[in-house]
Structure 1
Amino acid sequence: MARPRKFEEQDVLRDVRDQFWAAGYAATSLDDLTRASGLGKGSLYGAFGDKHKLFMRTLDDYVTDSCAGLRQNLEGSERAVDGLRDFVLAGASSLRQGCYLANSTTELAATDPEVAARARQAYEDIVELVAAAVKRAQREGDLPVGVESTAFARMLQTAQQGLVYIGRSGLPAEQLARVAQDLADKLLRP
Protein backbone atom coordinates (compact mmCIF):
# COMPACT_ATOMS: atom_id res chain seq x y z
CA MET A 1 0.00 0.00 0.00
CA ALA A 2 1.32 3.43 -0.95
CA ARG A 3 2.16 5.87 1.83
CA PRO A 4 0.16 9.08 1.93
CA ARG A 5 1.94 12.21 0.77
CA LYS A 6 3.21 14.41 3.55
CA PHE A 7 3.80 17.57 1.54
CA GLU A 8 1.83 20.30 -0.13
CA GLU A 9 2.17 19.78 -3.88
CA GLN A 10 1.88 23.48 -4.76
CA ASP A 11 4.57 24.41 -2.21
CA VAL A 12 6.94 21.85 -3.69
CA LEU A 13 6.21 23.01 -7.22
CA ARG A 14 6.81 26.63 -6.23
CA ASP A 15 10.13 25.80 -4.56
CA VAL A 16 11.28 23.68 -7.50
CA ARG A 17 10.18 26.38 -9.96
CA ASP A 18 12.20 28.93 -8.01
CA GLN A 19 15.27 26.69 -8.30
CA PHE A 20 14.81 26.29 -12.07
CA TRP A 21 14.15 30.03 -12.34
CA ALA A 22 17.32 30.96 -10.46
CA ALA A 23 19.71 28.53 -12.12
CA GLY A 24 18.05 27.47 -15.37
CA TYR A 25 17.03 23.99 -16.42
CA ALA A 26 20.44 22.66 -17.47
CA ALA A 27 22.27 23.96 -14.41
CA THR A 28 19.72 22.53 -11.97
CA SER A 29 20.73 19.10 -10.69
CA LEU A 30 18.62 16.46 -9.00
CA ASP A 31 20.42 17.35 -5.76
CA ASP A 32 19.35 20.99 -6.24
CA LEU A 33 15.75 19.88 -6.69
CA THR A 34 15.74 17.67 -3.62
CA ARG A 35 17.34 20.43 -1.57
CA ALA A 36 14.83 23.02 -2.84
CA SER A 37 11.81 20.78 -2.34
CA GLY A 38 12.86 19.09 0.90
CA LEU A 39 11.88 15.75 -0.64
CA GLY A 40 14.00 12.71 -1.31
CA LYS A 41 14.71 11.64 -4.88
CA GLY A 42 12.18 8.81 -4.76
CA SER A 43 9.42 10.99 -3.36
CA LEU A 44 10.11 13.80 -5.80
CA TYR A 45 10.19 11.64 -8.90
CA GLY A 46 7.41 9.37 -7.62
CA ALA A 47 5.11 12.37 -7.27
CA PHE A 48 6.12 14.37 -10.33
CA GLY A 49 8.07 12.17 -12.73
CA ASP A 50 11.52 12.90 -14.09
CA LYS A 51 13.27 16.26 -14.19
CA HIS A 52 11.75 17.25 -17.51
CA LYS A 53 8.20 16.37 -16.44
CA LEU A 54 8.72 18.29 -13.22
CA PHE A 55 10.03 21.29 -15.14
CA MET A 56 7.10 21.22 -17.58
CA ARG A 57 4.68 21.06 -14.67
CA THR A 58 6.26 24.18 -13.13
CA LEU A 59 6.20 25.94 -16.50
CA ASP A 60 2.55 25.02 -17.08
CA ASP A 61 1.58 26.23 -13.61
CA TYR A 62 3.50 29.48 -14.12
CA VAL A 63 1.82 30.12 -17.46
CA THR A 64 -1.63 29.32 -16.07
CA ASP A 65 -1.14 31.64 -13.10
CA SER A 66 0.40 34.40 -15.22
CA CYS A 67 -2.41 34.33 -17.78
CA ALA A 68 -5.03 34.35 -15.02
CA GLY A 69 -3.34 37.36 -13.43
CA LEU A 70 -3.04 39.15 -16.74
CA ARG A 71 -6.71 38.51 -17.52
CA GLN A 72 -7.71 39.85 -14.12
CA ASN A 73 -5.56 42.97 -14.54
CA LEU A 74 -6.75 43.70 -18.07
CA GLU A 75 -10.42 43.03 -17.45
CA GLY A 76 -10.37 44.66 -14.03
CA SER A 77 -8.84 47.95 -15.08
CA GLU A 78 -11.26 50.85 -15.17
CA ARG A 79 -10.15 51.68 -18.69
CA ALA A 80 -8.58 49.09 -20.96
CA VAL A 81 -5.73 51.39 -21.95
CA ASP A 82 -4.67 51.53 -18.28
CA GLY A 83 -4.47 47.74 -18.16
CA LEU A 84 -2.45 47.74 -21.39
CA ARG A 85 -0.13 50.37 -19.95
CA ASP A 86 0.36 48.23 -16.82
CA PHE A 87 1.13 45.24 -19.05
CA VAL A 88 3.91 47.11 -20.86
CA LEU A 89 5.30 48.64 -17.66
CA ALA A 90 5.41 45.20 -16.01
CA GLY A 91 8.25 44.32 -18.34
CA ALA A 92 10.48 46.66 -16.36
CA SER A 93 9.69 45.07 -13.00
CA SER A 94 11.38 41.67 -13.25
CA LEU A 95 14.94 42.99 -13.65
CA ARG A 96 17.67 40.37 -13.19
CA GLN A 97 15.34 37.47 -12.47
CA GLY A 98 13.47 37.89 -15.72
CA CYS A 99 10.28 36.08 -16.62
CA TYR A 100 10.18 32.32 -16.06
CA LEU A 101 8.48 31.74 -19.41
CA ALA A 102 10.92 33.99 -21.28
CA ASN A 103 13.95 32.47 -19.54
CA SER A 104 12.72 28.95 -20.27
CA THR A 105 11.99 29.79 -23.89
CA THR A 106 15.42 31.32 -24.35
CA GLU A 107 17.21 28.38 -22.77
CA LEU A 108 15.24 25.46 -24.18
CA ALA A 109 12.88 26.22 -27.07
CA ALA A 110 15.50 25.71 -29.79
CA THR A 111 16.27 22.17 -28.59
CA ASP A 112 13.12 21.05 -26.77
CA PRO A 113 10.01 20.80 -28.95
CA GLU A 114 7.71 20.45 -25.92
CA VAL A 115 8.99 23.70 -24.39
CA ALA A 116 8.79 25.42 -27.79
CA ALA A 117 5.18 24.32 -28.27
CA ARG A 118 4.19 25.36 -24.75
CA ALA A 119 5.90 28.73 -25.15
CA ARG A 120 4.18 29.37 -28.50
CA GLN A 121 0.82 28.53 -26.98
CA ALA A 122 1.48 30.70 -23.93
CA TYR A 123 2.48 33.68 -26.05
CA GLU A 124 -0.60 33.20 -28.23
CA ASP A 125 -2.79 33.08 -25.11
CA ILE A 126 -1.20 36.34 -23.94
CA VAL A 127 -1.72 37.96 -27.34
CA GLU A 128 -5.39 36.92 -27.25
CA LEU A 129 -5.87 38.53 -23.83
CA VAL A 130 -4.06 41.70 -24.86
CA ALA A 131 -5.95 41.88 -28.18
CA ALA A 132 -9.27 41.76 -26.31
CA ALA A 133 -8.08 44.70 -24.20
CA VAL A 134 -7.00 46.55 -27.35
CA LYS A 135 -10.51 46.11 -28.80
CA ARG A 136 -12.00 47.38 -25.55
CA ALA A 137 -9.64 50.40 -25.58
CA GLN A 138 -10.78 51.11 -29.14
CA ARG A 139 -14.44 51.00 -28.08
CA GLU A 140 -13.62 53.32 -25.19
CA GLY A 141 -11.96 55.78 -27.59
CA ASP A 142 -8.45 55.43 -26.16
CA LEU A 143 -6.87 53.73 -29.18
CA PRO A 144 -7.47 54.33 -32.90
CA VAL A 145 -10.18 52.11 -34.37
CA GLY A 146 -8.15 51.41 -37.50
CA VAL A 147 -5.47 49.49 -35.58
CA GLU A 148 -5.71 45.71 -36.05
CA SER A 149 -6.00 44.38 -32.50
CA THR A 150 -3.98 41.16 -32.80
CA ALA A 151 -1.08 42.84 -34.60
CA PHE A 152 -1.07 45.64 -32.04
CA ALA A 153 -1.19 43.09 -29.20
CA ARG A 154 1.87 41.32 -30.66
CA MET A 155 3.69 44.65 -30.80
CA LEU A 156 2.85 45.39 -27.14
CA GLN A 157 3.95 41.89 -26.16
CA THR A 158 7.24 42.32 -28.03
CA ALA A 159 7.86 45.65 -26.30
CA GLN A 160 7.06 44.15 -22.90
CA GLN A 161 9.28 41.11 -23.44
CA GLY A 162 12.07 43.35 -24.77
CA LEU A 163 11.98 45.20 -21.46
CA VAL A 164 12.20 41.87 -19.62
CA TYR A 165 15.21 40.87 -21.72
CA ILE A 166 17.02 44.19 -21.26
CA GLY A 167 16.25 44.06 -17.53
CA ARG A 168 18.26 40.84 -17.34
CA SER A 169 21.33 42.74 -18.57
CA GLY A 170 21.61 44.75 -15.38
CA LEU A 171 20.36 48.05 -16.74
CA PRO A 172 19.65 50.25 -13.70
CA ALA A 173 16.01 49.96 -12.58
CA GLU A 174 15.40 53.70 -12.91
CA GLN A 175 16.64 53.74 -16.50
CA LEU A 176 14.60 50.67 -17.42
CA ALA A 177 11.51 52.23 -15.83
CA ARG A 178 12.00 55.38 -17.94
CA VAL A 179 12.32 53.31 -21.11
CA ALA A 180 9.16 51.38 -20.18
CA GLN A 181 7.28 54.62 -19.53
CA ASP A 182 8.44 56.07 -22.86
CA LEU A 183 7.31 52.92 -24.68
CA ALA A 184 3.92 52.95 -22.97
CA ASP A 185 3.47 56.66 -23.73
CA LYS A 186 4.36 56.26 -27.41
CA LEU A 187 2.46 53.05 -28.05
CA LEU A 188 -0.68 53.74 -26.05
CA ARG A 189 -1.77 57.21 -27.01
CA PRO A 190 -4.92 57.80 -29.07
Structure 2
Amino acid sequence: MPKVETFDREEILGKVIQLFHRKGYNATSMQDLVDATGLNRSSIYNSFGSKMELYQESLKVYKQMAEKAIQKYLINSDTPIETIRSIFSLNPKYTNNGCMLSNCTTEMANKDQKIKSFLIHNREGMEELFESLVAKGQNEGSINTNRTAKEYALYLFTSLQGFRITGIIIDEQKDLESIVNTILSVLE
Protein backbone atom coordinates (compact mmCIF):
# COMPACT_ATOMS: atom_id res chain seq x y z
CA MET A 1 0.00 0.00 0.00
CA PRO A 2 1.48 3.40 -0.98
CA LYS A 3 2.28 5.79 1.84
CA VAL A 4 0.07 8.82 2.29
CA GLU A 5 1.77 12.22 2.28
CA THR A 6 1.53 13.76 5.73
CA PHE A 7 2.77 17.19 4.75
CA ASP A 8 1.41 20.19 2.86
CA ARG A 9 2.73 19.69 -0.67
CA GLU A 10 2.26 23.35 -1.63
CA GLU A 11 4.16 24.51 1.44
CA ILE A 12 7.02 22.12 0.69
CA LEU A 13 7.13 23.23 -2.96
CA GLY A 14 7.24 26.86 -1.80
CA LYS A 15 10.33 26.08 0.29
CA VAL A 16 11.90 24.15 -2.58
CA ILE A 17 11.23 27.00 -5.02
CA GLN A 18 12.93 29.46 -2.65
CA LEU A 19 15.94 27.16 -2.36
CA PHE A 20 16.33 26.46 -6.09
CA HIS A 21 15.68 30.13 -6.83
CA ARG A 22 18.44 31.18 -4.44
CA LYS A 23 21.04 28.50 -5.25
CA GLY A 24 20.11 27.14 -8.69
CA TYR A 25 19.87 23.47 -9.56
CA ASN A 26 23.53 22.51 -9.57
CA ALA A 27 24.46 24.15 -6.26
CA THR A 28 21.48 22.63 -4.44
CA SER A 29 22.26 19.32 -2.77
CA MET A 30 19.84 16.71 -1.51
CA GLN A 31 20.93 17.68 2.00
CA ASP A 32 19.92 21.28 1.22
CA LEU A 33 16.49 19.99 0.18
CA VAL A 34 16.20 17.93 3.38
CA ASP A 35 17.21 20.94 5.48
CA ALA A 36 14.85 23.34 3.68
CA THR A 37 11.80 21.08 3.74
CA GLY A 38 12.25 19.20 6.99
CA LEU A 39 11.51 15.99 5.10
CA ASN A 40 13.85 13.05 5.04
CA ARG A 41 15.43 11.92 1.79
CA SER A 42 13.13 8.95 1.32
CA SER A 43 10.04 11.17 1.71
CA ILE A 44 11.39 13.55 -0.91
CA TYR A 45 12.18 10.72 -3.32
CA ASN A 46 8.86 8.92 -2.67
CA SER A 47 6.78 12.08 -3.05
CA PHE A 48 8.62 13.99 -5.76
CA GLY A 49 10.96 11.52 -7.46
CA SER A 50 14.47 12.61 -8.26
CA LYS A 51 16.05 15.99 -7.59
CA MET A 52 15.51 16.80 -11.28
CA GLU A 53 11.82 15.90 -11.10
CA LEU A 54 11.46 18.09 -8.02
CA TYR A 55 13.24 20.93 -9.85
CA GLN A 56 10.95 20.55 -12.85
CA GLU A 57 7.87 20.61 -10.65
CA SER A 58 9.14 23.70 -8.85
CA LEU A 59 9.71 25.44 -12.21
CA LYS A 60 6.12 24.67 -13.22
CA VAL A 61 4.74 26.08 -9.97
CA TYR A 62 6.97 29.17 -10.25
CA LYS A 63 5.75 29.70 -13.83
CA GLN A 64 2.12 29.41 -12.69
CA MET A 65 2.75 32.04 -10.00
CA ALA A 66 4.26 34.38 -12.61
CA GLU A 67 1.32 33.79 -14.97
CA LYS A 68 -1.13 34.71 -12.20
CA ALA A 69 0.74 37.97 -11.63
CA ILE A 70 0.68 38.73 -15.36
CA GLN A 71 -3.05 38.02 -15.50
CA LYS A 72 -3.60 40.67 -12.81
CA TYR A 73 -1.72 43.18 -14.95
CA LEU A 74 -3.77 42.25 -18.00
CA ILE A 75 -6.94 42.89 -16.06
CA ASN A 76 -5.80 46.10 -14.35
CA SER A 77 -3.81 47.85 -17.09
CA ASP A 78 -5.47 50.37 -19.35
CA THR A 79 -3.06 50.20 -22.30
CA PRO A 80 -0.80 47.60 -23.93
CA ILE A 81 2.30 49.68 -23.09
CA GLU A 82 1.24 49.85 -19.44
CA THR A 83 0.80 46.07 -19.40
CA ILE A 84 4.21 45.50 -20.99
CA ARG A 85 5.80 47.90 -18.48
CA SER A 86 4.10 45.99 -15.65
CA ILE A 87 5.47 42.69 -16.94
CA PHE A 88 8.96 44.14 -16.79
CA SER A 89 8.25 45.30 -13.24
CA LEU A 90 7.79 41.66 -12.27
CA ASN A 91 11.58 41.50 -12.14
CA PRO A 92 11.78 39.85 -8.72
CA LYS A 93 14.42 42.20 -7.34
CA TYR A 94 13.00 41.73 -3.87
CA THR A 95 14.82 38.40 -3.68
CA ASN A 96 18.11 39.56 -5.25
CA ASN A 97 17.94 36.30 -7.17
CA GLY A 98 16.39 37.45 -10.44
CA CYS A 99 13.75 35.38 -12.19
CA MET A 100 13.95 31.65 -11.56
CA LEU A 101 13.04 30.90 -15.19
CA SER A 102 15.69 33.23 -16.57
CA ASN A 103 18.24 31.80 -14.16
CA CYS A 104 17.24 28.31 -15.25
CA THR A 105 17.79 29.30 -18.87
CA THR A 106 21.36 30.33 -18.19
CA GLU A 107 22.11 27.33 -15.99
CA MET A 108 20.21 24.41 -17.48
CA ALA A 109 18.88 25.03 -21.02
CA ASN A 110 21.93 23.43 -22.64
CA LYS A 111 22.12 20.57 -20.15
CA ASP A 112 18.69 18.93 -20.08
CA GLN A 113 16.29 18.51 -23.01
CA LYS A 114 13.14 18.42 -20.84
CA ILE A 115 14.14 21.67 -19.19
CA LYS A 116 14.96 23.21 -22.57
CA SER A 117 11.55 22.15 -23.93
CA PHE A 118 9.85 23.65 -20.88
CA LEU A 119 11.74 26.92 -21.37
CA ILE A 120 10.95 27.00 -25.09
CA HIS A 121 7.26 26.55 -24.28
CA ASN A 122 7.50 29.39 -21.77
CA ARG A 123 9.24 31.60 -24.35
CA GLU A 124 6.56 30.86 -26.94
CA GLY A 125 3.81 31.77 -24.46
CA MET A 126 5.50 35.04 -23.54
CA GLU A 127 6.11 35.91 -27.18
CA GLU A 128 2.44 35.24 -28.00
CA LEU A 129 1.41 37.53 -25.14
CA PHE A 130 3.79 40.27 -26.25
CA GLU A 131 2.69 39.87 -29.87
CA SER A 132 -0.97 40.28 -28.94
CA LEU A 133 -0.21 43.33 -26.77
CA VAL A 134 1.89 44.94 -29.50
CA ALA A 135 -0.73 44.22 -32.17
CA LYS A 136 -3.39 45.80 -29.98
CA GLY A 137 -1.17 48.84 -29.40
CA GLN A 138 -0.43 49.12 -33.11
CA ASN A 139 -4.15 48.96 -33.92
CA GLU A 140 -4.82 51.69 -31.34
CA GLY A 141 -1.91 53.79 -32.60
CA SER A 142 0.02 53.75 -29.30
CA ILE A 143 2.77 51.48 -30.68
CA ASN A 144 4.55 52.24 -33.95
CA THR A 145 4.40 49.97 -36.98
CA ASN A 146 8.09 50.17 -37.86
CA ARG A 147 8.29 46.42 -37.18
CA THR A 148 5.71 43.66 -37.11
CA ALA A 149 4.09 42.66 -33.85
CA LYS A 150 6.01 39.36 -34.06
CA GLU A 151 9.36 41.16 -34.45
CA TYR A 152 8.60 43.39 -31.47
CA ALA A 153 7.49 40.35 -29.46
CA LEU A 154 10.87 38.68 -30.07
CA TYR A 155 12.63 41.90 -29.09
CA LEU A 156 10.57 42.28 -25.92
CA PHE A 157 11.11 38.69 -24.81
CA THR A 158 14.86 38.95 -25.39
CA SER A 159 14.96 42.29 -23.58
CA LEU A 160 12.98 40.85 -20.68
CA GLN A 161 15.40 37.94 -20.31
CA GLY A 162 18.38 40.28 -20.29
CA PHE A 163 16.65 42.69 -17.94
CA ARG A 164 15.86 39.95 -15.44
CA ILE A 165 19.45 38.77 -15.40
CA THR A 166 20.88 42.29 -15.25
CA GLY A 167 18.45 43.13 -12.45
CA ILE A 168 20.35 40.77 -10.17
CA ILE A 169 23.38 43.05 -10.19
CA ILE A 170 21.72 46.48 -10.34
CA ASP A 171 20.41 47.75 -7.02
CA GLU A 172 19.17 51.19 -8.00
CA GLN A 173 15.47 51.22 -8.83
CA LYS A 174 15.92 54.36 -10.94
CA ASP A 175 18.49 52.54 -13.09
CA LEU A 176 16.12 49.61 -13.59
CA GLU A 177 13.33 52.02 -14.54
CA SER A 178 15.68 53.74 -16.99
CA ILE A 179 16.44 50.41 -18.66
CA VAL A 180 12.72 49.66 -19.04
CA ASN A 181 12.08 53.15 -20.44
CA THR A 182 14.83 52.65 -23.01
CA ILE A 183 13.51 49.23 -24.02
CA LEU A 184 9.96 50.54 -24.40
CA SER A 185 11.06 53.67 -26.27
CA VAL A 186 11.60 51.48 -29.33
CA LEU A 187 7.83 50.91 -29.46
CA GLU A 188 6.93 54.63 -29.47
Query: Normalized against structure 1, the TM-score is what?
Result: 0.88
Sequence identity of aligned pairs in percent?
27
1:34-83 deviation digits (Å, cap 9, x = unpaired) = 11111111111111101000000111121233234324423541222210
Query: Cα offset for 1:116?
Result: 1.1
For 2:175, the aligned partner's letter is Q
The structure-2 alpha-carbon separation of the partners of 1:75 and 1:155, relative to structure 1 and needing over 3 Å to count, comes to farther
Report the 3-state secondary structure (helix = DSSP H, G, I; strand = E; otherwise coil) of the residue aligned with 1:119. Answer: helix
2:5 is matched with which residue?
5
Opposite residue 38 of structure 1, the aligned amino acid is G
Alignment match, 1:134 = 134
Amino acid paired to 1:188:
L
Once the two structures are overlaid, the 10-residue window that deviates more, 123-132 or 83-92, is 83-92
The Cα of 1:107 is off from its aligned counterpart by 0.6
Match of 1:29 in 2: 29
Aligned pairs for 1:29-178 within 5 A: 29-91=29-91, 93=93, 96-145=96-145, 147-178=147-178
Aligned residues: 188
Distance 1:161 1:82 in 2: 19
User: Runs of 5+ in structure 1 lacking a partner?
Assistant: none
1:188 aligned counterpart, secondary structure: coil
Cα RMSD between the aligned structures?
2.1
Question: What CA distance in whole angstroms lies between the structure 2 residues aligned with 1:94 and 1:126?
Answer: 22
Please identify, of 127-136 and 170-179, the stretch whose mean Cα deviation from structure 2 is larger: 170-179
Q: Deviations over 1:82-104 (max 9, x none)?
A: 10122234448467311100101
Task: Please tell me the residue identity of whatever aligns with 2:108.
Answer: L
Q: Distance in 1 between matches of 2:40 and 2:156?
A: 43
Question: SS state of the match for residue 97, structure 1?
Answer: coil
Q: Which residue of 1 aligns with 2:187?
A: 188
Higher relative contact order (CA 8 A, sep 6+): 1
2:96 match: secondary structure: helix
